[in-house]
Amino acid sequence: GIQVEQSPPDLILQEGANSTLRCNFSDSVNNLQWFHQNPWGQLINLFYIPSGTKQNGRLSATTVATERYSLLYISSSQTTDSGVYFCAVVNYGGSQGNLIFGKGTKLSVKP
Interacting span for other proteins (CB under 8 A) from 10-18, 19-27, 52-60, 99-107:
99-107
Helices assigned H by DSSP within 37-96: none
Which amino acid, residue 80?
T
33 is a contact residue toward other proteins (CB under 8 A): yes
| Least distance (Å) between residue 43 CB and other proteins | 4
14 is a contact residue toward other proteins (CB under 8 A): no
DSSP 103: -
| Least distance (Å) between residue 96 CB and other proteins | 5
51 is a contact residue toward other proteins (CB under 8 A): no
Sheet holding 59-64, edge to edge: 4-7, 19-25, 69-74, 59-64, 52-56
Tell me whether strands 69-74 and 59-64 are parallel, antiparallel or unpaired.
Answer: antiparallel
| Footprint on this chain of other proteins (rule: CB under 8 A) | 31, 33, 40-43, 45, 48, 86, 88, 90, 95-104
